[in-house]
Amino acid sequence: MDNDSFELPFLSNIGLMVTYKCPVACPHCIVEAGPHRTQEMRLDQALALIDQARKYRDGFIQALCLTGGEPFYNLALLTQISEYGRALGFIVSVVTNAFWASSREAALHKLSLTAAIQAVTISTDVYHQQAIPFEFVRNAMEAARELGRVYTIAVCTDNDQDPAHLKVLQQLAEMGEGENIRVAITLPIGRARQQAHALHYGISSEPPVTACPVASSPVIFPNGDVIACIGPLLTLPPMHPLFLGNVGREPLSAILDRAELNPILHTIRVWGPHKLVALLKENGYDALLPREYISNAGCDACYKLLSDVRIVTALQAIFCDEELTRTVAYGRIHYLKETAMADQLRLGALAE
């Protein structure tokens, strides 16, 4: 792992998937959000989860990210959740497609109504722009800037050389946002499965060598499921190691405490899914491995490995090795400055 890589401390931020509703149904949407969806987190449910998060390890969790779907679709719910979270001391952020920013005045009005939200991630790319003009994104960015909100731009593409994608990046760069963009690879998962024939990926025989910063921030869904990230694994049944539990069946604290000791999860965080591939090869499971991976897409490698029950079973057997678990705990200390795993394993000398 590159020591200069940006990595949130584990569990310092959690997400609430507040709604699957969205005014648009983008062709790449991993959660298949849209105006037809009805699943939404109840207000009492969300506030109870925020209370649990605030109490966890005496306030260890610092930030709350509200995502969807489109959280601004239900402005009253978004406002109440964000205000409650902010009143308890959380840094509150939101992920949005800026459908509400049809004009500068509208953008300023909506962000003013949600004053408890301190950071905004705005999604725009060739998929979103089929329904939401770039001008809306511009309005949202300018309103965020005027109101002193931190903001970033999230862009998806299946091909980083696609002219339409490059045009989006150029538009953002011309606004001075070149350093404020986060690009992710679109995967043929969720609604994008229907578009798989039209996606133009680079292919590699090996997964990318990169750690995963996203798996540091678990997300809680309206049905109570807690998943280690909001990547493609959320589309799978709860049989994979990054499915952490369900808050309807046990307290959030128990789920998060168990996650601290999850060696597969932390191997992905420290070294990336390519480390899992190496371990599988070392232990004679070559025949189970995927034949190809999407280039520069760690999420694709993670999904392909953990969606295969045979591979999950093999990894669970491999990680029965206590020495390997100790190595993961040491990796967390060395690369991420995190001692919680070593502390819980009572590896006192290791954590010093």
CB-CB neighbours of 103 under 10 Å: 12
For residue 307, how far is the Cα from the chain centroid? 17
Instruction: Give the tokens for residue 171.
Output: 């538009």
* Rounded Cα–Cα distance for residues 270 and 199 (Å): 30
Alpha-carbon gap, residue 81 to 165, rounded angstroms: 34
How many beta carbons lie within 10 A of that of residue 239, not counting itself?
11
Name residues whose C-beta falls within 8 Å of residue 1's C-beta, 6 or more positions apart in sequence.
211, 270, 271, 272, 331, 335
Residue 237: which residues within 8 A CB-CB, separation 6 or more?
A: none
CATH superfamily of 13-201: Aldolase class I (3.20.20.70)
pLDDT in tens, the chain (352 residues): 443 445 679 999 999 999 999 999 999 999 999 999 999 999 999 999 999 999 999 999 999 999 999 999 999 999 999 999 999 999 999 999 999 999 999 999 999 999 999 999 999 999 999 999 999 999 999 999 999 999 999 999 998 889 999 999 999 999 999 999 999 999 999 998 887 777 788 899 999 999 998 999 999 999 999 999 999 999 999 989 999 999 999 999 999 999 999 999 999 999 999 999 999 999 999 999 999 999 999 999 999 999 999 999 999 999 999 999 999 999 999 999 999 999 999 886 555 5
- Predicted TM-score of the model (pTM): 0.94
Structural domain boundaries of the chain? Answer: 13-201, 263-351
- Name the one residue in this structure whose structure tokens are 């897409």: 297
How far is it, in rounded angstroms, from Cα 326 to Cα 96? 40
Round to whole Å and give the CA distance between 223 and 50.
16
Question: For residue 91, how many C-alpha atoms fall within 13 Å in the half-sphere facing its CB?
Answer: 11
**238 near 322, Cβ under 8 Å?**
no
Can you tell me the distance from the alpha carbon of 162 to that of 160, in angstroms, rounded to the nearest whole number? 6
Say how far apart CA 296 and CA 276 lie, in whole Å. Answer: 16
CB-based contact 157:186 (threshold 8 Å): yes
- For the chain, the straight-line distance linking the first and the last C-alpha, in angstroms and rounded, comes to 21
Distance CA 248, CA 220 (A): 11
Written as one string, the DSSP assignment of 41-84 is: --HHHHHHHHHHHHHGGGTT--EEEEEES-GGGSHHHHHHHHHH
